[in-house]
Chains A and B, each alone.
Chain A
C-alpha cells in the first residue's frame, strides 16, 4: 500500500500527539502512525507532574527554572534549549488547561503545584513548588487530553503500524515504510516532512519503568543509516522503582514529604544532599541508594532496596494526591503506604540522549550543523539536549509538549514550502530484507533468551555505576549477542498479528541502542550527571564539556565511531557558568 501526506508523525505519545495537532494547524495534511493505540502510549505512565514557573503556590520565574535545568543537567544542557523551554512551558501548561486537562487545584482554583527533585527558588536556595499535577497521574491526563484534542481535530491515525525504515536519500527524508500488524503488509508512507516521536528504549535493561514496547526502534533505524545518536551514555535511573518490579513510584512521593530510609531507619539523604535532602536530583538520589545498598544498609531479603516512608503523612494525602502509587504498592507488594514502609530500588527510566535535533526539532546529521532535510524529532527519542547529563523530574512531560509543538509547527512550515521529493525505486526493499533475514535464520537461538541476556548484562555493566573493564566486557557481550541474533528464526509463518516477528525485530533495534550507549559510555572518561565512572570519578570540564555523537561504523559491524558537538553554554538572554554541582 502507498500513502501520501504532507506531514507524517511517527509515535502517538505526548510529543507525537502535540506535533500532530500543531502540524494540522499549519494547513497541511497530517497522519500519525503508532505501534500501539494512541491512548496506550507510555506518556500515560508518567505520574508526578509537569514543571512550569507559574508561581501559583510560591514565587517563581522562568530564569530559576532554566537555571535548575542547566545545573540539573550538570552543565551539559544546551542553554538555548533550556531558555526556550523554561519560557515556552508556561504557555503550554496554560494551553493544556485550556484543552480541558483536569489539573489538581489550589484553594483559590488555580493549577496546583508541588515540589520536585532539583527544582529550586533563587538559583538553588531552597526547594520550590513548580510541578503542576493532576493527582499522581499527570502523564495519563496529558495523554488522554491530547488524544481527545486530536479526535476533535480529526487527526488520521494508523494504529498498530510498526515503522521498519526511514526513506532518506541525498540528505532528505522522503517518508517511511511501516508494517501493519493486523495484516502483515508493508506500507510506504510518502511525506514531505516526517516527525519522529516514538519514545525511549528502557527495555535494554532488566529493571525498568519502561513499557515492554520501548525498544528504541526509530533511534536504531536512524543509527543504521550512519546518522549519529547524541549523548547516549546519559541514561537516567529513577531512584524509586517498586522493588524487583521496577514499576515507577513518582518523585511526587518525595515532593509530598516522603522520606527515604535505610535498614536502620536512618534518613540517609541528609548525608548526601544536606540542603534539599530527599529532593535532590535523580542521579544523586539513585547513587545514594546504591551506595547504601553496597555498604550493607539495604532492606529486604536480598538487602537490595531501601524504604520510602509515608507513614507520617495524612491518609488524605496518600490516598488522594498519591492514589496511583498507593494502588501500585497495594496491588504488587501487598503493602499499604498509609502504615507500611515501601521498598524501592532504582529503575532504568529515561534516555537523556537520542536523535540530535536543533531547537525546531530538525534532525542533525553530524556535530557541525549538518541536518537531515524534512526530518524532525521530539520527545524522549530526540536529544535537543534540554536534559544534558541528567533530567530533572517533570521536565520530560514539559519536553514532550514544548518540543513536540515546535516540531509540529516547523515541520508544517517546511512542508508548505516544498514539493514531494521522489521516493527510491523500491522503497520497501530494505524492510523486506529485514523480515526475510528474520524468517530465514538458522533457528538455533531464541530471541527471548538473547533479550534476557542483553537486559541483565546492560544492567550489570552499564548501569548506575560504571567502569572501563566492565564496559569493555559489555562491548564483547554485545558483539556476541548480535552474532547470535543472526541465528534467531521466526517460526510463526502467519501474516496477521505476528507478534513473534515484531518482537524479534524490536530485539535487533534494542541491540543497536545498547551498542551506541555502551560505546559512548566507555569513551567518556569522566563522571557527569547520570554517567558515573568509578575509574574517573570527577567531572572534567576541560576535556568533556561536549556532546557525544555516536555513529555506527557501516564498514566494520560492531564498531562505533565517536564524534563530538559543542555544548551551547549561553541562552538567548541568560547564561549560567559551570559550577560544582552541590545541593
Chain B
C-alpha cells in the first residue's frame, strides 16, 4: 500500500516537473525580450528540476544516491540563478538606453 502511494506521489511530482519544464520552454519561445525569457527559464528549471528530483527520491535504492540527486538539484539552482544574473547583466549593458532605465518595454 505504501509502495503504491509512493509510486503515485512519484508520478505526480515528475509529471509536475515535466509540466514546469514545458511551461518554461514555451515562455522561452514566446516571451518578447531577454529578461522575461530568462525569468521563464530559471523559474521553470529550478522548480521543474526540484519536482523531478522529489519524484525520483522514493525510487532510489540507497541514501547516497538520494543525496547525490539533491546535491545535483542544489548545484543546478546555484549555477542557473548565477548564470541568469550574468546573462541579464550582459543583456542590459547591450540593450538600448530606454530598456536599461525602464525595464523591459511593455
| Pairing of A with B | no
Interface residues of B, Cβ cutoff 8 Å to A: none
